[in-house]
Amino acid sequence: MKNNDNAARRERIRDFVDANSKSPVTGAIYTLIYGPLGLIYSNPKLAVLALFVAIALGFVYWPLLGVFWIACIVLAPLQVKAYNAKIRRSARYIVT
């Protein structure tokens, strides 16, 4: 009986993680298309910060925007993976 309950709980946890996980590829594509604003998919706070940095770079030295855009593309999948890890860690406390 206990073993069956544990298997059912693990199944519910896996379903929760699958339903709430995000795709690193999608995060990279959003950032490729929308630039720093595409980081909203992976980390909204970082997106706001990146947007302010992009605006500042645009005023100061606009050719650096391309480098910053590429940095955001690289950063997006890393942020999505961190988000997914957080979901996996918290799932065992959320799912009953």
Domain boundaries defined on the chain: 2-94
Close Cβ partners of 93 (under 8 Å, ≥ 6 residues apart): none
pLDDT tens digits, 37-75: 999 999 999 999 999 999 999 899 888 999 999 999 999
Q: Which residue has the tokens 């795709």?
A: 23
> What per-residue confidence (pLDDT) applies to 1?
55
Rounded CA separation 36/43 (Å)? 11
Q: State the pTM of this model.
A: 0.85
CA distance from start to end of the chain: 16
Asked if residues 37 and 79 have their Cβ atoms less than 8 Å apart, the reply is no
CB contact set of 23 (below 8 Å; sequence gap of 6+): 80
